[in-house]
């Protein structure tokens, strides 16, 4: 495993996710967020907690890149990364995103939008990780 490339892939995916997350949540989903504002944190409270979220998001992307590297099968990096992103999206949707709708009084529309966005974003971040991660070259032994 190429740890330097794992770290680079995780950090780049995280860095890309920050402006994408801003665009999705504050621009694209602005109306949906407003419609659900009664069950969401007030902006000032949310902003105060963002550093915690960013740190754990970085940890998650480093773990995402590590898991990709552990399962790397030698295929085309971007395609394998997209596939890995979709698999991850299915797991996280089942383990968590659907449960946000079940547990919290958000609209089905917001829940569906979050899930759809998560599949798109994880495909993008998987492609990024797949493009950056390259395994270490293995030394060939020559039999004499």
Query: Where do the structural domains in the chain lie, given as residue ranges?
Result: 3-132
Mean pLDDT across 83-88:
97
pTM given for the model: 0.88
pLDDT reading at 136 higher than 90 = no
Are the CB atoms for 133 and 5 separated by under 8 Å? Answer: yes
Q: 36 CB contacts (<8 Å, ≥6 apart)?
A: 106, 107, 110
For residue 141, give the DSSP letter: P
pLDDT reading at 139 higher than 50 = no
Q: State both tokens at 46.
A: 């949310």
Q: How confident is the model at residue 8 (pLDDT cuts 50, 70, 90)?
A: very high
pLDDT, position 49: 97
Mean pLDDT across 103-109:
94
pLDDT reading at 94 higher than 50 = yes
Q: pLDDT tens digits for 19-59?
A: 999 999 999 999 999 999 899 899 899 999 999 999 999 99
Mean pLDDT across 74-86:
93
Percent of the chain with pLDDT over 70: 94
Q: State both tokens at 113.
A: 């939008």
Q: pLDDT tens digits for 125-134?
A: 999 999 999 8
pLDDT reading at 74 higher than 90 = no
């Amino acid at each position: 495993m190429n740890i330097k490339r794992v770290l680079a892939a995780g950090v780049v995916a995280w860095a890309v996710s920050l402006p994408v997350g801003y665009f999705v949540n504050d621009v694209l989903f602005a109306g949906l967020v407003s419609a659900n504002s009664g069950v969401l944190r007030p902006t000032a409270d949310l902003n105060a907690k963002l550093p915690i979220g960013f740190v754990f998001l970085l940890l998650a992307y480093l773990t995402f890149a590590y898991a990709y590297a552990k399962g790397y099968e030698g295929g085309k990096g971007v395609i394998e990364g997209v596939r890995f992103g979709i698999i991850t999206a299915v797991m996280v949707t089942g383990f968590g995103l659907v449960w946000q709708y079940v547990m919290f009084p958000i609209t089905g529309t917001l829940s569906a939008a979050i899930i759809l966005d998560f599949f798109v974003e994880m495909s993008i971040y998987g492609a990024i990780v797949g493009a950056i991660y390259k395994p270490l070259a293995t030394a060939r032994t020559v039999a004499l």
